[in-house]
């Protein structure tokens, strides 16, 4: 059965190479879109995802969006000092590199420098608790030429921040996150506006703390981190459209492969009839066909995985693309099943072949 199917593939090379190519391109496209979806998701929400947070306390009318929520600092300070809940300030800004006109977009997150919201610093040192305007920023900002010790200038508040360290996997809304201390946050907001925080963040689920906060700050609701992520408008839109592409690609693959295998079996009807007449059973004929599809699928999908890996290495690092092995393997498995299913559809024809047709004609 095995040698039979391999010999057929070797003899009708062109046919099988064609199918292989279709499968390869579909698979590669599925993997690349998947990588892109992962990359975009990471750029958009990785900061929230990696945050050590269970829920956010957000203003009622803020549509689950941190940026739209505000609590005045004086209100927040009414809450008894509790290290299970911390305030968070969030603002998207353009900072100007000192000594040049170059601007970099960042998302400022104001956190307690020693609190649970402060991420691990991977390079340099952490921000001081004092008023000094320092920031620890996601390492993707290095692509803009920012180094430790550089100064970044914020125009509205005329504050000059010093970059003291880098962290990783902290991006929000496609911009690197810059962490500053709550004190520099208050200074930065300055006198023009009444100082505020955007949200309160709860580390672990705790009903007592939740109701405490709600008691003293009545105008908000507790929203889980997942719901905050879902509330980010671009995230949902990106992921939905990319996932729709993936699903459509897979459905297209079922039909294209199904049609291709169908035509191939139809072409071989006569041969199947002869083989059945000389005593080959359905199991053997279906087995050979399925084995061929299995070989083609394994080869094309593996090559596609390799190709995607190569793409990842060739793409510029600014391109949001993440090769997630587990997800890629899952999709590879789905495609494998899809192509076997496509082939299985045409095996009905093999069963239907009557060995009688090998004899001249039926009278």
Partner 1 sequence: MSQIPLQLENIRKTFQDGDKEVDIIKSLSFEAKKGELVAVVGPSGSGKSTFLSIAGALLSPDGGRVIVNGADIAQFSEKERADVRLRAIGFIFQSANLVPFLKVKDQLKMVKELATKWGREAKEEAQQLLQSVGLEHRMNHYPHQLSGGERQRVAIARAFMNDPDIILADEPTASLDGKRSKEIVELLANEAKDKNKAAIIVTHDEAVLPFCDRIYMMDNGRLILKEEMI
Between 194 and 281, CB nearer to partner 1: 281
* Of 209, 276, 296, 304, the one binding partner 1 by CB under 8 A: 276
Candidates 8-16, 132-140, 142-150, 182-190 — which segment interacts with partner 1 by CB under 8 A?
8-16
Between 33 and 358, CB nearer to partner 1: 358
* Of 252, 281, 329, 330, the one binding partner 1 by CB under 8 A: 281
Closest Cα partner for 118 from 155, 146, 87, 156? 87
Between 125 and 281, CB nearer to partner 1: 281
Candidates 217-225, 229-237, 266-274, 315-323 — which segment interacts with partner 1 by CB under 8 A?
266-274
Candidates 125-133, 169-177, 199-207, 351-359 — which segment interacts with partner 1 by CB under 8 A?
351-359
Q: Are 55 and 224 in contact (CB under 8 A)?
A: yes
* Of 193, 317, 326, 361, the one binding partner 1 by CB under 8 A: 361
| 269 is an interface residue for partner 1 by CB under 8 A | no
Question: How many Cβ atoms sit within 10 Å of the Cβ of residue 360?
Answer: 7
Judged by CB under 8 A, the number of residues near partner 1 is: 25
- Residue 312 phi/psi, 5-degree rounding, is -60, -40
- Which segments of the chain does DSSP mark as H helices, in order? 2-11, 13-50, 73-76, 182-189, 207-216, 225-231, 233-267, 269-277, 282-314, 325-352
Between 266 and 329, CB nearer to partner 1: 266
Candidates 36-44, 175-183, 272-280, 291-299 — which segment interacts with partner 1 by CB under 8 A?
272-280
Q: Are 43 and 174 in contact (CB under 8 A)?
A: yes
Residues 6+ apart with CB under 8 A from 233: none
* Of 122, 243, 271, 330, the one binding partner 1 by CB under 8 A: 271
* Of 22, 229, 277, 345, the one binding partner 1 by CB under 8 A: 277
Between 139 and 357, CB nearer to partner 1: 357
Between 294 and 307, CB nearer to partner 1: 294
Q: How many residues does the chain have?
A: 363
Question: How far, in Å, CA of 47 to CA of 170, rounded?
Answer: 4
Site for partner 1 in 282-341 (CB under 8 A): 284
Question: How far, in Å, CA of 249 to CA of 308, rounded?
Answer: 16
User: Residue 340 has which token pair?
Assistant: 């076997």
| 14 is an interface residue for partner 1 by CB under 8 A | no
Please state whether beta strands 123-124 and 55-59 pair in parallel, antiparallel, or not at all (unpaired).
Answer: unpaired
């Amino acid at each position: 059965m095995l040698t039979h199917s391999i010999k057929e593939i070797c003899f009708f090379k062109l046919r099988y190479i064609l199918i292989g190519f279709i499968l390869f391109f579909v698979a590669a496209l599925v993997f690349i879109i998947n990588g892109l979806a992962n990359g975009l998701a990471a750029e958009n929400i990785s900061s929230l995802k990696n945050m050590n947070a269970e829920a956010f306390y957000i203003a009622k009318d803020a549509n689950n969006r941190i940026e739209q929520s505000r609590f005045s600092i004086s209100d927040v300070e009414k809450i008894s000092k509790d290290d299970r809940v911390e305030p968070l300030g969030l603002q998207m800004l353009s900072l100007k590199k000192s000594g040049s006109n170059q601007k970099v977009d960042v998302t400022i997150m104001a956190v307690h420098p020693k609190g649970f919201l402060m991420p691990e610093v991977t390079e340099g040192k952490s921000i001081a608790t004092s008023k000094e305007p320092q920031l620890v920023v996601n390492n993707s900002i290095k692509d803009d030429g920012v180094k430790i010790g550089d100064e970044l200038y914020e125009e509205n508040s005329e504050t000059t921040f010093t970059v003291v360290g880098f962290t990783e996997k902290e991006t929000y809304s496609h911009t690197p996150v810059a962490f500053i201390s709550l004190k520099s946050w208050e200074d930065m907001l300055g006198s023009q506006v009444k100082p505020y925080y955007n949200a309160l963040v709860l580390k672990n689920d705790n009903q007592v703390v939740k109701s405490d906060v709600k008691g003293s700050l009545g105008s908000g609701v507790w929203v889980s981190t997942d719901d905050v992520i879902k509330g980010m408008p671009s995230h949902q839109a990106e992921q939905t459209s990319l996932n729709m592409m993936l699903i459509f690609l897979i459905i297209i693959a079922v039909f294209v492969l199904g049609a291709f295998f169908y035509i191939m079996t139809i072409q071989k009807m006569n041969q199947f009839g002869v083989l059945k007449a000389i005593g080959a059973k359905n199991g053997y004929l279906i087995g050979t066909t399925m084995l061929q599809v299995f070989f083609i699928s394994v080869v094309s999908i593996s090559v596609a995985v390799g190709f995607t890996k190569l793409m990842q290495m060739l793409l510029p690092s600014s391109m949001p693309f993440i090769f997630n092995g587990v997800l890629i393997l899952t999709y590879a498995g789905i495609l494998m099943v899809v192509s076997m299913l496509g082939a299985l559809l045409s095996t009905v024809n093999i069963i239907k072949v009557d060995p009688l047709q090998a004899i001249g004609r039926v009278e």
